Structure 1
Amino acid sequence: MASFTLHGIPVSRGIAIGRAHLLAPAALDVKHYLIAEEHVEAEVVRLQTALTAVHRELQTLWNELPKDAPTELGAFIDVHALILSDPMISEAPLDIIRSRHYNAEWALVTQIEELSSQFDEIEDAYLRERKVDIQQVAERVLKVLMGSEPLAAPNAVNPDDDEFMAQMVVIAHDISPADMLKFRDRSFIGFVTDVGGQNSHTAIVARSLDIPAAVGVAQASTLIEQDDWVIIDGDAGVVIVSPSALVLEQYRERQLAAQRARKKLSKLKKTPAVTKDGTAITLLANIELPDDCGPALEAGANGVGLFRSEFLFMGRAANMPSEDEQFEQYRRAVVAMKGRPVTIRTLDIGADKPLDPTEHTALNPALGLRAIRYCLSEPQLFLTQLRAILRASAFGKVRILIPMLAHAFEIDQSLAMIEQAKAQLREANVKYDASVEVGAMIEIPAAALALPMFVRKMNFLSIGTNDLIQYTLAIDRVDYEVAHLYNPLHPAILQLISMTIAAGQKAGIDVAVCGEMAGDTKLTRLLLGMGLREFSMHPAQLLAVKQEILNSDLGAIAPLTRKILRSTDPDGIADAVLALQTS
C-alpha cells in the first residue's frame, strides 16, 4: 500500500508507531482486552458456547410458538437462525480471536461492524434492511457473553509480552472522555480521531494518559485500514500511514531521543521547583481518578490542583455513584497524596462531558445547564457530593473547587450548600475538616471582570484557561473546524489571566492555573512573569515545566512580560513569547 500523510491537531506530545486498530462506535460499549496466546482457544470456546446457547434460545422460541401465531414470527426466527449459522457470524469472529487476540465480545462487534458497512452499500432496500437482523442476532450473542464469566479477562495479555500487541494505535471517528479512560490499562500506544479540538476533554484525557494523539484528522477512520502501520507525530499532529522504511527509521530514532530526554528529566523529581533568583513555585497535578495519584507523586507533585470528579459520574446517569462510593474514591486520593493538598472540583458535567451521551442535549450545551448550574438545579445530588468530599477531608487536606461561577448568587448558594452539608454531617456525628477551603474557578470572562465579588468570599482562585479561552473567543473547543481560532496568546486572554493573578495577589489569596496552559512549557515563563506561583497540570507534563522554572530568572522575565501585556499585535506577542524562552 502506498504511503500517505494526514494532518490534524496535535494534542499530546510524543511519537507512536504501531498497527492501526479501527474502533467502531459499537465497540466502545463492550469490554475489550487482549488475550494471551495460551488462552486464545479458551476464548474461542467461550464464543462458540455463546453461539450454541443462542441457537438453543431460538429453537425454544420456535417450539413454543402458539398455534395461532402469525407466520411472520416463525419466519423471523428462521432468518435469525440462518444468520447465526452463517460462517460470517459463526466462524469469522473466531478467526479474529485467533489472529488478533481480541476477547470474544470485541471480536464479535468488530465483525458485525464490518458486515454492517457492507450492507450499507447494497442498492436493494430489502436486502439492505437485513443489516438490522444481523445486529439483533449479535445482540443476543453479546447478552449471553456478558452474562457469562469472562474467563480470559484475568489472563489478558501484558502489553510487554508481544511487540505486535503493544503497538496498537486506536483510529476512531470520535472517542468520549469516559471511553478514553477505558483504555488506560490496555495495550494501546496512540489515538487518532476524525473530530475534536486541541482542548476538548478527549484531548485532555489523552494528555493525562501521556499517550501521543492527534485529533481533527478528517476521514482518518475511513482512509486508514485495519492493521495498517501508522506513525503518530503528536508534536505536529501528523499521521503517516504505511510509512516507508526510511521514514520509519527516522521516527524510531526520534522516539529513542525523546526517551533519553525523558530519562534525563526524571532526575529532577526530587529537585524543588525554584527559579534562578530563589522564588519557590508550587507544582500540582490534575487527575481524573484516584489511581492517578501514583504518577502524580512519582513526578514530584506538591499536591492535586484539580481532581475532575465528573469522571466518577460519566456514563452512569441511571446509576449515579452513591455518597459512600464517592467518599471512598475521594478518600483514596486524599490518603494516596500523603498529607499533600487535594483540590476536588465539584461535578463539572455538560458540553463535551455529558452525564448520559444518549440524552438530548441543549442547542448549545457549552452555554447551557452545566457545571455549577447543573448542581444548583439538582440540590440533592450536589449535597450528596459535598458530604462525600467533606467526609474525605477527615483523612487529609482537602479543598473544594466550584466550576463555572459567574454570578454573586451562585457563589452564595454554593457556600450555603456547603454549610448545609456540614450541618448534616454534624447532625449525623460524622467527622470532617471544618476549615476546608473553598475556591472558585475563573473560566468565564464575567468572572474575571468581576473579581472583587470572588476574592471577598473565596479562599483561593483557579483559572481554567481551557473554558476561559473558549468563552472569551466564542469558540467551541470541540469543533475542529474552528480549532485554528483557539489562541491562548490572544491579547484578551492574557489580560484576563493577568488581572486574575493580580487580584489574587492584592487580596492575599492563592491563584493557580489548572487549564492546559499550565502544562505548556512554551508559556511557563510568560505565566511566571505575570506573577503566577501555582501551576496545576497533568503529571506527565510536570517535570518539563519544572525544568523551565529552574532555568527562569524572574528579574529578566518580568519586564518582557509587561511589554507583552501592553501589546495587541498577535505576531509581536508570539515572537516575544518565543524570545522569553531564551531569556
Structure 2
Amino acid sequence: MSLWLAGIGVSRGIAIGRVHRVHGADLDIPEYAIEPEELDAEVERFEAALAEARSQLEQIRSQIPASAPAEISAFIDTHLLMMQDTALSDTVANLIREHRCNAEWALKLQQDHLTDVFDQMDDAYLKTRRDDVEHVTARIQRVLLKQERRIDARADRSRHPPVIVADDLTPADIIILHQQGVAAFVTEHGGPLSHSAILARSLRIPAIVGVHDARRMLVDDETLVVDGEAGHILADPAEDALSFYRHRQKRDQRYRRMLGKLKTEPAISADGRKVRLLANVELPDDSKDAAEVGAEGIGLYRTEFLYMNREEMPGEEEQLAAYRRVLRSVDGPVTIRTLDIGADKTLGHGRDHSASSNPALGLRAIRLCLKETDMFRVQLRALLRASAEGDVRIMLPMISNIQELRQTRHLINELMTELRSQGLAFNPALPVGAMIEVPAAALAAPLLARHADFFSLGTNDLIQYTLAMDRVDDEINYLYDPLHPAVLRLIKFTIDAGADAGIPVSMCGEMASDRRYTRLLLGLGLTEFSMHPANILEVKRLVMQSDVSALQRHVEAVLGATDALEYRELLDALDEPAAA
C-alpha cells in the first residue's frame, strides 16, 4: 500500500529511486578501559583519525561545485578550524590518558562538555554552534569506528538510484553521497536555508527536509518518489502514480533543453525593457560556467577563497593573477567583492576575529578590512592593477555608514598615487560600489549614493538583519520571509535611490536566482540580476515573458496594500503567469 509523506521542498525536481536509510548520526559509542602501556598507541589512533577526518574535509572542499555559494566553503572551513583547535585535539588526548579510556569515549566526553557550554550561552547565534561540534565529532567518530557513509556497491544505481533518507546531512555528507550517484535526499530535520539545502540546490539534487519519522516509516529498497518542489514523497507508488511522475521527469528534461536555446537571446522583456543577467562566482575558473550560459559579466566575484585555509596571507601578485584569470575568461564587467570575512567565515592564519558575542554583528567584512589596513591595502593594490586590464568594479561588503565609504575612497586614492609613482597602470575611474545588506544602508541609500558608483543588494543578509533572525538556524527559519513588507520596502527604497542618483543597482542575493521572485523584482524596478550560473536561463525566460510596465503597476498596488490578506493575494497573482 502506498504511503504519502510531506515535508519542506528545498530543491526542485522529481526523483524516483530506492530508499537507502542512513543512521550515521546515531552512533553507538563504545566505552572500554585501556591498559597503561597502550595509552600512547590509543592517543596515536585518535590523532590518526583526526588527521584522516581533516584530509576528508579538505578533499570534500576541493570538490564543492562552482555554483555553490561561499557559505558552503565557509562551513567546511569552520569545521577544519575546529579540528585544529587544541580544545578538541589536545583535550581528547589528555582525557584518554586521564581516564585510561578508548579514543571514542574520550571524544564523546569532550563533545558533551563543549555542547553543554554552548547550550548554556544566552546568545542564540552561539547556541547554534553546538551543531558544528556535533558534526565535527561525528566525522571523527565514524573514522574511529570505521562507519563511513557509503552506498552499497552492489546496488544497481542506473536502474535503481538510491534516495538517501537520514535524520540530517551536512554539506560534506551531501558531496560524498552525490559522488556515489544518489537520486535525492530526504531528511527528518533541517530547513530551506540550511547549508545542506543550499548545496542541494546548487547540485540540482531534489531534496525534502522536515519529514518527521521518515526513517521509521520507510523501508530500505522500497521504491520512493520525491517531488522536491511540492515537498511530497510517495513510497511504494501504484503503477499509474509512477507513470505520472515519470512523465513529469521527461517534461522537466524537455524544459531544460528548451532553456538551453535561450543562451544567445538577449534578456529583453515583452515590453522592450533590457535586463542585465550576471553571474556569481567564487573561483577564477568558475567564470567558464558563467560564459557557457551567456552571462553578461560577473556581478559578484568572491575573494575569500584566496584567504581561507592557509598559514600566510595572499600576496599582491597572487591576487592579481587570480583577478586577471577571471577577467580573461568572461566578457562584460567583473564586480569583485573585497574580503568578506566574519560571522561564519574565519581566517586560518592566526587572525581569528570570531570571538565576538555575535560574530554576525561584530568585526567582519569592511569593518575588519578598515581595521586590518595592511591586509586591505594589498588587496586594493591588486584590484587597482587588475583594472588596467579589464572592466573591473570594486564592491565593498557590509557597508553601514558613509564614513566606511569615505575611508575606503581615501585609501584607494592613496594607493593610486603610490602606483602612479611606481609607473604601474590602473584605471583612475575605477567604479567603487556598496553592498546593501543591512537595513541602515538601505535607509541611508540616498546619502550613500552620493559616494558610491553602484549598489548591489545582498538579500541574504538584508532579510536576516531586517527580521532579526539567523537564516541558517533551523529553529526559527520559518521567520525568513523575502516577501515581508519591510524587506520589499527596503529593496524598493534602494532601487529608487539608485535611480534618482543615476547609479546602477543590482542584486546578488538568493532572491535574484529564485524564479519565484523574478517578476516581483522586475516590478520593483530591478534591471540587473546576479545569480548562480545554473539559474540564469530560467530567469531569462521569465524576463522575456514579462510586461515590466504592467508588473510595476501591480507591485505599486502590493506595496500600497494595508490588509495582510490583500497583500498576499496580490503577491500570489504575480506568480500565476510564471508557472512552468
TM-score (norm 2): 0.70
Cα distance change, pair 291–252 in 1 and its aligned pair in 2 (3 A)? farther
Cα distance change, pair 367–486 in 1 and its aligned pair in 2 (3 A)? same
Query: Structure 1 residue aligned with 2:490, among 492, 496, 509?
Result: 496
| Number of equivalenced pairs | 476
Q: Is the 8 A contact 2:163 2:186 kept in 1?
A: no
User: Which residues in structure 2 correspond to 1:224-243 (within 5 Å)?
Assistant: 232-238=226-232
Q: Which residue of 1 aligns with 2:359?
A: 365
Query: Structure 2 residue aligned with 1:340, among 332, 337, 348?
Result: 332
User: How far is 1:237 from its partner?
Assistant: 4.0
1:448 aligns with 2:442: yes
Q: Which residue of 2 aligns with 1:11?
A: 10
CA distance in 1, matches of 2:315, 2:165: 33
Farther off after superposition, 418-427 or 548-557: 418-427
Q: Which residue of 2 aligns with 1:155?
A: none
Give the match's secondary structure for 1:268. Answer: coil
Farther off after superposition, 255-264 or 71-80: 71-80
Q: Which residue of 2 aligns with 1:408?
A: 402
Farther off after superposition, 467-476 or 345-354: 345-354
User: How far is 1:381 from its partner?
Assistant: 2.5
Q: Which residue of 1 aligns with 2:324?
A: 331
User: Which residues in structure 2 correspond to 1:2-401 (within 5 Å)?
Assistant: 5=5, 7-8=7-8, 10-17=9-16, 20=20, 22=22, 73-76=36-39, 129=102, 131=104, 163=158, 173-175=168-170, 187=181, 190=184, 197-200=191-194, 203-215=197-209, 232-238=226-232, 250-314=244-308, 316=309, 318-337=311-330, 339-355=331-347, 361-401=355-395
User: How far is 1:531 from its partner?
Assistant: 1.5
CA distance in 2, matches of 1:190, 1:347: 34
Cα distance change, pair 290–554 in 1 and its aligned pair in 2 (3 A)? same
Q: Is the 8 A contact 1:345 1:400 kept in 2?
A: yes
User: How far is 1:525 from its partner?
Assistant: 1.9
CA distance in 2, matches of 1:278, 1:226: 54
Farther off after superposition, 402-411 or 216-225: 216-225
Q: Which amino acid is the alignment partner of residue 444 of structure 2?
A: A
Q: Which residue of 1 aligns with 2:63?
A: none
Query: Structure 2 residue aligned with 1:521, among 515, 520, 531?
Result: 515
Identity of aligned residues (%): 46
Farther off after superposition, 570-579 or 183-192: 183-192
CA distance in 2, matches of 1:418, 1:582: 48
Give the match's secondary structure for 2:435. Answer: strand
CA distance in 2, matches of 1:232, 1:501: 39
Cα distance change, pair 287–75 in 1 and its aligned pair in 2 (3 A)? closer
CA distance in 1, matches of 2:179, 2:487: 37
Q: Which residue of 2 aligns with 1:540?
A: 534
User: How far is 1:303 from its partner?
Assistant: 0.9
Cα distance change, pair 132–401 in 1 and its aligned pair in 2 (3 A)? same
Q: Is the 8 A contact 2:298 2:333 kept in 1?
A: yes
Q: Is the 8 A contact 1:233 1:239 kept in 2?
A: yes
User: How far is 1:384 from its partner?
Assistant: 2.6
Q: Is the 8 A contact 1:469 1:488 kept in 2?
A: yes
Computing the radius of gyration from Cα coordinates, the structure with the larger value is 1
Q: Is the 8 A contact 1:196 1:478 kept in 2?
A: no
Q: Which residue of 1 aligns with 2:428?
A: 434
CA distance in 2, matches of 1:172, 1:331: 44
Farther off after superposition, 268-277 or 571-580: 571-580
CA distance in 2, matches of 1:180, 1:394: 41
TM-score (norm 1): 0.69
Farther off after superposition, 415-424 or 436-445: 415-424
Which consecutive residues of structure 1, in runs of 5 or more, have no partner in the other structure?
26-70, 84-125, 144-160
Cα distance change, pair 260–521 in 1 and its aligned pair in 2 (3 A)? same
User: How far is 1:208 from its partner?
Assistant: 3.5
Q: Which amino acid is the alignment partner of residue 11 of structure 1?
A: V
Which consecutive residues of structure 2, in runs of 5 or more, have no partner in the other structure?
26-33, 47-98, 109-136, 145-155
CA distance in 2, matches of 1:543, 1:471: 30
CA distance in 2, matches of 1:313, 1:180: 25
Cα distance change, pair 540–357 in 1 and its aligned pair in 2 (3 A)? farther
Deviations 1:396-446 (A, max 9, x none): 211111111112221122223333444454455443333221111111111
Q: Is the 8 A contact 1:22 1:226 kept in 2?
A: no
